[in-house]
Amino acid sequence: MKVFFVALALVLAVEAREGICNNDEAKFLDLDGMISLVGAKIAPVLSSCSGLAAALLDRSNGCVTLIEQGYCYYKVAKARTPASGLTYDQINEGFPDIAKLAGYGCKNTCFDNIAPIVKGCYADAAVKEEILKQAAAGFDKLRGFLVDNKGSVMGSPLGKVLSMGLDKYNDFSDVKEMVLRNKDSISAAYYEVKGKMQAFCAEGCVAKSRKWGVALIPAIGMGECTDPKVFCGACADNAAAALPLSDPRMPCCMLRLYNWASEKAAAAQAIAASKGSAIGEELAKIVYANAQYNCVKSVFDDYSASRNCA
């Protein structure tokens, strides 16, 4: 389902030639300092992989721009968002910046430019060992944080899942073994998601869906639907009424992606329950027992059933 909502953000890509970093709100951000910080954090891995650091920091490859745009949007959005949360009017106002950020999704060339270098480095045993060493250090830091803050962390669903995971995996070698056991399925899932998103872009689905996506939010946020955090009730009713009447209709390329993501989510839920994994069951409860999630899913499932998009 997450893939679908990522794609839904992409439909707002009205104009992507300029990014949010170019506006007045972002001009005071220390972008060079941020890039330096990112570089310092991953320097141990970069130094063991010949050519990767230069490729990542070469602006012509698109990676620096991608990092900057994400960072700028995060900082600006954080400054704009009140403690009480966004209203639908504020979400509509923010569409231009969301559009600019999302526009990089289909057009950015970072992955394509650095993928050959990354693949070559990962085939090098020394580089692979350095990556595993850094991951192990991160695992130890996370474990230490959760131990020190167990009282407060355990109160959140994510904290509970993380704590359960660290109880199951005593050290990073256990995680490594789990990844190695499932590497084929992990790799297959990654390339399937990547393929779906590439197809979404190649079909021109961003352009096809733009008007539909932009028109849908105002049609939902009206009447008694005033809080974007609460979809069940008035907002769900508005969405159910707006979807079949929207002009243009939800494009089939978007609907097919939604159906695929929904099927994958249902399959993951079934696997989590059947395996008897406490972590899997807890994740399933957090996601699939969430009332708001289920309200969104119900509305789109009903709409999908009414359409013929083979």
- For residue 231, pLDDT over 80 is answered with yes
Mean of pLDDT values over 5-28: 46
Could you tell me which residue, 238 or 283, shows the higher pLDDT?
A: 238
Q: What is the pLDDT of residue 11?
A: 42
Q: Which of 181 and 56 is assigned the larger pLDDT?
A: 56
HEC readout, the chain: CHHHHHHHHHCCCCCCCCCHHHCHHHCCCCHHHHHHHHHHHCHHHHHHCCCHHHHHHCHHHCHHHHHHHHHHHHHHHHHHCCCCCCCHHHHHHHHHHHHHHHCHHHHCCHHHHHHHHHHHHHCCHHHHHHHHHHHHHHHHHHHHHHHHCHHHHCCCHHHHHHHHHHHHCCCHHHHHHHHHHCHHHHHHHHHHHHHHHHHHHHCCHHHHHHHHHHHHHHHHCCCCCCCCCCCCCHHHHHHHHHHHHCCCCCCHHHHHHHHHHHHHHHHHHHHHHHCCCHHHHHHHHHHHCCHHHHHHHHHHHHHHHCCCCC
Confidence of residue 278 (pLDDT cuts 50, 70, 90): low
Q: pTM for the complete prediction?
A: 0.68
Q: Given pLDDT bands bounded at 50, 70 and 90, which one contains residue 9?
A: very low
pLDDT averaged over every residue in the chain: 75
